[in-house]
C-alpha cells in the first residue's frame, strides 16, 4: 500500500530491490504464493485498524512529516532530530557527499522534474534505518526547501545491491548492470503508478551509486569525491512515513 502522485492510496507492487529480467514462471509462482487476501478474511477490529491506518496515510505529506522528524534551530534553519537507531544526523563529510550526488541524480529525471528541483536546496541530511530486507545497506533522508520553509520536500536515497537470484540467471544486459538503474526502471515499468521522483545517480566507474538531486546553485557542493555502491531510489515523504 502506498500513495500515488494524485494522493490516492493504492495496493500494488512496491518493492523493487530484486527486480530483474528472468523466467516468467518465477513471477507466477510468487503470485500464487501471495494470492490470498488477508484483508478479506480480517475480523471487524482488524478492519477498523486498517481503515484508521488508511485514513492517516491519506493525510500524510511533507508538511505533516517535518515536525515529526526535524526541529528548528536557533538560527531559524531546520535540522533532523536525532532519533537513534532509526534516524541519526549525517556527519558533515557524509552530508557533502550526499549533496554532491544529488546534483547528479537529477540528470536521470524527466525534464519537468529536473526543472522543479533546481528551485530546491538541501537543508539537512540524516542516516535512516530501513526495512529488514535492506539490512546492511545504506539509506539517507534529505530535507530540501523550495520557496521557503513552507515548501519542504523529503527525498530518500537507498543503496541497491545485486538481487539474490542474480547468480542463477544469464548475464544482465549492459544497461541493467547498474543496479540503481535496474531498480528504478523496474519500478517505473511495473506498477500502475510510480514515484515521480524516482531516479539514480550515474557513475563514471560503472559502480552502482545513487544519491539525491538538487541543481540549485546554493546547494551545489564543490566536492569531487564519489559515494560508491549507491543506487537510486528516491521517495516523496508519503513513502517514508
**47 φ/ψ angles, rounded to the nearest 5 degrees:** -65, -35
Return d(Cα 92, Cα 223) in angstroms, integer: 12
pLDDT score recorded for residue 41: 67
Q: How distant, in Å, are the alpha carbons of 4, 209, 226, 230 from that of 212?
A: 20, 11, 13, 11
SS3 (DSSP) at 21: coil
CB 125 within 8 A of CB 90: yes
Q: Parse the chain into domains and list their residue ranges.
A: 2-239
Confidence at residue 92, expressed as pLDDT on a 0 to 100 scale = 92
Grid coordinates of 177? 548492470
Angle at CA 148, nearest 5°, toward 147 and 152? Answer: 85
The pLDDT value recorded for residue 43 is 77
Q: What are phi and psi of 13, to 5 degrees?
A: -60, 135
According to DSSP H, which parts of the chain are helical? 24-33, 44-58, 62-69, 92-105, 111-117, 179-189
What does the pLDDT read at residue 83? 92
Mean per-residue pLDDT pooled into runs of 10, the chain (241 residues): 71 76 84 65 78 75 86 92 92 90 86 91 91 72 92 87 87 83 84 82 43 28 30 36 35
Other residues' Cβ atoms within 10 Å of the Cβ of residue 85: 7
Query: How far, in Å, CA of 142 to CA of 140, rounded?
Result: 7
Q: Please list the alpha-helical segments (H only) found in 168-215.
A: 179-189
Q: Supply the pLDDT for residue 1.
A: 66
pTM: 0.73
d(CA 195, CA 199): 9
How many C-beta atoms lie closer than 10 Å to residue 69's C-beta? 21
Residue 62 has a CB neighbour count (10 Å cut-off) of 17
CA proximity to 129, closest of 116, 112, 146, 141: 141
pLDDT for 134 equals 65
Q: Cell 529480467 belongs to which residue? A: 21
Amino acid at each position: 500500500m502506498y500513495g500515488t502522485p494524485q494522493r490516492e492510496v493504492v495496493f500494488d507492487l512496491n518493492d523493487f530491490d530484486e527486480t530483474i529480467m528472468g523466467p516468467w514462471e518465477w513471477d507466477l509462482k510468487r503470485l500464487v504464493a501471495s494470492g490470498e487476501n488477508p484483508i478479506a478474511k480480517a475480523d471487524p477490529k482488524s478492519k477498523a485498524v486498517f481503515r484508521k491506518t488508511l485514513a492517516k496515510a491519506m493525510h500524510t505529506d511533507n508538511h505533516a512529516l517535518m515536525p515529526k522528524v526535524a526541529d528548528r534551530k536557533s538560527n531559524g534553519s531546520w535540522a533532523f532530530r536525532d532519533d537513534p537507531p532509526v534516524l541519526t544526523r549525517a556527519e558533515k563529510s557524509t552530508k557533502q557527499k550526499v549533496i554532491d550526488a544529488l546534483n547528479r541524480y537529477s540528470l536521470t529525471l524527466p525534464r519537468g522534474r529536473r526543472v522543479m528541483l533546481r528551485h530546491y536546496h538541501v537543508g539537512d541530511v540524516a542516516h535512516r534505518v530501513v526495512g529488514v530486507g535492506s539490512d546492511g545497506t545504506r539509506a539517507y533522508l534529505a530535507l530540501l526547501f523550495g520557496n521557503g520553509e513552507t515548501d519542504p520536500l523529503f527525498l530518500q536515497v537507498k543503496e541497491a545491491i545485486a538481487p539474490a537470484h542474480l547468480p542463477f540467471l544469464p548475464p544482465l544486459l549492459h544497461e541493467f548492470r547498474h543496479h540503481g538503474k535496474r531498480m528504478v526502471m523496474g519500478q517505473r515499468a511495473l506498477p500502475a503508478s510510480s514515484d515521480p521522483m524516482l531516479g539514480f545517480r550515474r557513475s563514471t566507474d560503472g559502480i552502482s551509486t545513487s544519491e539525491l538531486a538538487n541543481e540549485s546553485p546554493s546547494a551545489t557542493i564543490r566536492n569531487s569525491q564519489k559515494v560508491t555502491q549507491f543506487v537510486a531510489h528516491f521517495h516523496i515523504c508519503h513513502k517514508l512515513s
